[in-house]
Structures are given as structure tokens and as C-alpha cells.
Amino acid sequence: MTRKLIAILRGLPPGDAVAVGQALVEAGITTIEVPLNSPEPLVSIARLARAFAGRSEVRIGAGTVLTAQEVAQVRAAGGRLIVSPNTDAQVIGAAVAQGLDCWPGVFTPTEAFAALRAGATGLKLFPGALAGPEGLRALRAVLPPATQVYAVGGAGPGNFAAWRAAGADGFGLGTALYAPGLTADAVAARARAVIVAYDAAGGPA
């Protein structure tokens, strides 16, 4: 089963990257982003990409990607996933041109449709805590039905069901899974708890 969950490893040091990544993948979370405002993020991405090079179901990439140049750097490091906090047509275009999945951050219908026109793979509703499930429900009413929307920031094991009922396809999770200093075993335990809650809320959309 491929669960629609993105692990956001903000603050991950390169020395912990492979162990934390393996803990997540073994628990069942196979999409991982290292935000570019982490320590030496491209090193972590490269190490993760090498570690899972033979696993087509594992997708490694970057978050907080703000420029087309950063898209190229992520691809050069072996990343296949571009996640941004905002909607930038140049970033989306660069990702699409290089064959990478692209999840820009959106908050309004204007941003959502601009992202889709630019070729986004799916939409990251951010910050989810401000939009809430009702904000997503209203956005869903006007989006093309096949649009994938992940709730990020304010979505977690305690409210997966409410978000799913409002139309969330998946979730990006940060501190619910990882914080700097956590051991791989601790991350694995958090990941297992997240998966139990996710599956109980209905699993993949």
C-alpha cells in the first residue's frame, strides 16, 4: 500500500538522514522531503537518494524550494520531488521540465488554479491550520475533481478523519514524525502511530 503521506524532515542533519529515512520507509511512509532550510539539505537528499536508489516506490526530494536554480540543485542531488510553501510558476515550470513531481503551496482559489495551469502534480494546502477542513471543503467545490490536495500544517493524527471528510487526499507531516535530535527508533515509533491513525481514517484516497 502506498500511503499518501509526505514526511517533512526539517532540521535533519546529513549524518542522520539514512537512518531516519530507513525508519520511515520500513514503517510505511515512502515519500520524504528535506526542506532546503535544513543543515546541508542537498547532502541529505543525495544520501537518501542513493540509499533508496533501487526502490521505485520511495520518493526523495526537497521542501521550501523557492527558485528554479534550487530545483536544478535538487535534481542533481537525486531528488524527484519538489515541494514549496508558495505558488511560483517558474519553480513549477522548472520542475515539470525536469520530470520532477511538484507540489506548490496554495491557500486561495487564485493560487490553486495558477499552480494547476503551470503544471503542478498536486496542491499543498498551506498553512492548513488557517484554512481548516472547512476552507478545504470550499476550495474543493471549485477545483477539478481529479486534483490531488495534501493538507500541510495543522493536519495530523488527531484530525485526519475531519480533513479526509473535507476532501484531503493526503498529508504532509513535520513534527508529528520528526524533530531534530530524535533517534531513528523514535521516528519509527511516531511513524507507526501516524500510519495507524491514517489507516483508521480511511487510508489512501
Residue 92: CATH number of its domain: 3.20.20.70
**Count of domains observed in the chain:** 1
Domain extent at residue 102? 5-201
Residue type, 17: A
Helix (H) or strand (E) holding 198: helix 184-200
Residue closest to 148 by CA, chosen among 107, 103, 113, 108: 103
> Which pLDDT belongs to residue 100?
98
Cell of 45: 537528499
Residue partners of 27: CB distance under 8 A and separation at least 6: 188, 191, 192, 195
Q: Which three cell numbers stand for residue 192?
A: 507507526
- Number of helices and strands in the chain (H, E): 8, 9
Predicted local distance difference test score (pLDDT) of residue 202: 83
pLDDT the model gives residue 5: 98
Query: In the sheet where 81-83 sits, what is the strand order?
Result: 101-103, 81-83, 59-63, 31-35, 5-8, 170-173, 149-152, 123-125, 105-106
How many C-beta atoms lie closer than 10 Å to residue 134's C-beta? 10
Q: Note the pLDDT of residue 1.
A: 61
| Mean pLDDT of successive 10-residue stretches along the chain, which has 205 residues | 92 98 97 98 98 95 98 98 98 98 98 98 97 97 97 96 97 97 97 96 71
Indicate which residues carry an active-site annotation.
33, 124
